[in-house]
């Protein structure tokens, strides 16, 4: 124990003595860790977003396709599907994308039946400030917090949005908060009647049907039954979407990884030798230590501590940098490469999510190979004749 403390003190002194090497090394490792962590944190954060968002989706979503495109669906299907076995509820939903020319942006307008006995099962109805919609009151909206922030609006404000040629005045009565950033970024909730007006959905028709099952695991069976009933239906299965989404993410992350790899490898090959190697001054020093009776193990242990401390700081700096880059700066550039949707969600902010496990894995991933690799040249030097090292000929 005393030996370790003394060697650690010596190692810390060495990293201070070799400040240039220490800074170059720490900086390089920080950079590498940053690149890895930024990709990892961003993919993980978005994967989490999606899964949270998907959790709010109905088990099955039924759309009607006409000539391959989603078309409005008749509400007459609601009782007929509800009559099928294994189905607990069917709701006709009115929602859609609404383009606002003045903002050059899309909102997602969602019609909500706010009557207490028919609370929306799938609306992200966690109201942060203000209140939820009153049933049967026209002209009220509840807006996603992030969207309101982006537009500079607050509870009590009114907005006028064009419907056809006339403007319609809407009163913001509440802001909703959600653990899912995508929800709050562009969603406006309003009464079903108002939504029909905005989206030009005639009475008796709906955008799609939200179906909830008594046993969500039997989604495939239920979907087949609905498809038999409704030949022109397209049925989206939540569990299937989750899987497909994971696959896309893995592929995109993989492609980016593949793009980063050659750069990283080139960088590492160039830097590795300089960073992990021992310079002439260090060889002399190893020679001096061995000459005065240090064991090879003592030299290596001191070296290990020195490099481990540097690597730990470098790795942590890289991770903190990546955290700030992804969650505070919204990953400029990187998000576009990975997902290409920053224009769709101008105020997209992934919720900060880092687990201790992720940090540990990253730190180990960077530290272990580096520290291990850096021991090899030190070990080679410290097994030479000490006097030859002192002369600089070994």
**Residues of the shown chain interacting with ligand ATP in the complex, contacts defined by CB under 6 A:** 388, 391, 393
Instruction: In angstroms, give the least distance from the CB of 299 to other proteins.
Output: 9
Q: Which stretch binds other proteins (CB under 8 A): 13-21, 75-83, 115-123, 211-219?
A: 13-21
- Ramachandran region of residue 160, left (φ > 0), alpha (ψ -120 to 50) or beta? beta
- Indicate which of ligand ATP, other proteins, none lies near residue 285 (CB less than 5 to 8 Å, by partner kind): other proteins
- Indicate which of ligand ATP, other proteins, none lies near residue 292 (CB less than 5 to 8 Å, by partner kind): other proteins
Per rule CB under 8 A, is residue 281 in the interface with other proteins? yes
365 and 29 in contact (C-beta within 8 Å)?
Answer: no
Q: How many residues bind other proteins (CB under 8 A)?
A: 29
The full length of the chain comes to: 394
CA-CA distance, 279 to 130, in Å (whole number)? 66
Which residues make beta-bridge pairs with 64?
Answer: 71, 233
Q: Between residues 204 and 392, which has the closer beta carbon with respect to other proteins?
A: 392
- Give the pair of three-digit tokens for residue 335: 């998000």
CA-CA distance, 36 to 43, in Å (whole number)? 11
Per rule CB under 8 A, is residue 376 in the interface with other proteins? no
Q: Which stretch binds other proteins (CB under 8 A): 7-15, 106-114, 218-226, 344-352?
A: 7-15
Instruction: In angstroms, give the least distance from the CB of 382 to other proteins.
Output: 9
CA-CA distance, 257 to 243, in Å (whole number)? 21
The DSSP line for 102-166 is: TTTEEEEEEEE---GGG--SSS---EEEE-PPPTT-TTEEEEEHHHHHHHT--TT-EEEEEETTE
Q: Between residues 72 and 278, which has the closer beta carbon with respect to other proteins?
A: 278
Residue of 72, 73, 289, 347 interacting with other proteins (CB under 8 A): 289
User: Exposed (0-12), middle (13-18) or buried (19+): which is 146, by Cβ within 10 Å?
Assistant: buried
The DSSP line for 68-110 is: TEEE-EETTHHHHHHTSTTEEEEEEE-EEEEEETTTTEEEEEE
- Indicate which of other proteins, ligand ATP, none lies near residue 17 (CB less than 5 to 8 Å, by partner kind): other proteins
Q: Between residues 247 and 393, which has the closer beta carbon with respect to other proteins?
A: 393
User: What binding mask, one character per residue, do residues 14-33 give for other proteins by CB under 8 A, x or -?
Assistant: ---xx---------------
Which residues make beta-bridge pairs with 60?
Answer: 211, 237
Touching other proteins, residues 110-169 (CB under 8 A): none
Per rule CB under 8 A, is residue 5 in the interface with other proteins? yes
Residue of 291, 324, 360, 364 interacting with other proteins (CB under 8 A): 291
Task: Kindly list the distances between the CA atom of residue 92 and the CA atoms of 74, 111, 348, 375, 391, in Å, as whole numbers in the listed order.
Answer: 9, 10, 28, 66, 86
Instruction: In angstroms, give the least distance from the CB of 44 to ligand ATP.
Output: 55
**Strand 140-144 relative to strand 95-100, pairing:** unpaired
Residue of 287, 314, 318, 350 interacting with other proteins (CB under 8 A): 287
Residue of 108, 242, 296, 330 interacting with other proteins (CB under 8 A): 296
63 and 73 in contact (C-beta within 8 Å)?
Answer: yes
Residue at token pair 């894995």: 361
120 and 187 in contact (C-beta within 8 Å)?
Answer: no
Instruction: In angstroms, give the least distance from the CB of 278 to other proteins.
Output: 14
Per rule CB under 8 A, is residue 383 in the interface with other proteins? yes
- Indicate which of other proteins, ligand ATP, none lies near residue 291 (CB less than 5 to 8 Å, by partner kind): other proteins
Residue at token pair 């939540």: 238
Residue of 74, 158, 295, 324 interacting with other proteins (CB under 8 A): 295
- Indicate which of other proteins, ligand ATP, none lies near residue 116 (CB less than 5 to 8 Å, by partner kind): none
- Give the pair of three-digit tokens for residue 193: 């009647």
- Indicate which of ligand ATP, other proteins, none lies near residue 95 (CB less than 5 to 8 Å, by partner kind): none
Instruction: In angstroms, give the least distance from the CB of 291 to ligand ATP.
Output: 14
Q: What single-letter DSSP state applies at residue 20?
A: H
- Give the pair of three-digit tokens for residue 93: 């939903």
Q: What are phi and psi of 176, to 5 degrees?
A: -105, 150
Instruction: In angstroms, give the least distance from the CB of 381 to other proteins.
Output: 13
The site for other proteins (CB under 8 A) is made up of: 1-3, 5-7, 10, 13, 17-18, 281, 285, 287-296, 298, 383, 385-388, 390
């Amino acid at each position: 124990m005393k030996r370790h403390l003394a060697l650690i003190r010596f190692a810390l002194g060495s990293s201070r003595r070799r400040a240039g090497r220490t800074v170059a090394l720490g900086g390089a490792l920080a950079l590498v860790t940053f690149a890895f962590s930024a990709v990892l944190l961003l993919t993980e954060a978005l994967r989490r977003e999606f899964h949270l968002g998907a959790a709010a989706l109905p088990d099955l979503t039924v759309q009607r396709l006409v000539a391959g495109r989603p078309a409005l669906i008749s509400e007459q299907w609601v009782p007929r599907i509800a009559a099928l076995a294994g189905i607990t509820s069917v709701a006709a939903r009115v929602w859609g994308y609404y383009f606002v020319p003045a903002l050059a942006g899309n909102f997602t307008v969602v019609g909500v039946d706010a009557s207490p006995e028919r609370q929306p099962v799938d609306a992200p109805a966690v109201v942060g400030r203000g209140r939820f919609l009153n049933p049967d009151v026209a002209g009220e909206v509840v807006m996603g917090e992030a969207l309101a922030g982006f537009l500079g609006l607050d509870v009590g404000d009114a907005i006028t949005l064009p419907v056809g040629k006339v403007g319609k005045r809407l009163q913001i009565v509440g802001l909703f908060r959600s653990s899912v950033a995508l929800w709050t970024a562009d969603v406006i909730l309003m009464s079903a009647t108002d939504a029909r007006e905005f989206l030009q959905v005639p009475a008796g028709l709906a955008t799609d049907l939200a179906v909830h099952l008594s046993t969500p695991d039997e989604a495939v069976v239920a979907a087949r039954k609905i498809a038999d009933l409704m030949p022109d239906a397209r049925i989206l299965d939540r569990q299937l979407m989750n899987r497909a989404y994971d696959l896309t993410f893995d592929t995109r992350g993989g492609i980016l990884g593949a793009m980063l790899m050659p750069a990283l490898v080139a960088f590492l090959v160039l830097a590795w030798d300089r960073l992990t190697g021992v310079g002439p001054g260090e060889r002399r020093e190893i020679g001096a230590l061995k000459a005065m009776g240090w064991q090879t193990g003592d030299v290596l242990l001191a070296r290990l501590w020195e490099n481990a401390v540097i690597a730990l700081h470098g790795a942590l700096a890289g991770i903190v940098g990546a955290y700030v880059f992804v969650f505070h700066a919204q990953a400029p550039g990187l998000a576009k490469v990975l997902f290409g949707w920053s224009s769709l969600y101008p105020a997209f902010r992934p919720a900060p999510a880092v687990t201790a496990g992720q940090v540990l894995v990253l730190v180990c991933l960077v530290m272990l190979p580096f520290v291990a690799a850096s021991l090899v040249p030190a070990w080679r030097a410290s097994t030479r004749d000490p006097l030859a090292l002192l002369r600089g000929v070994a």
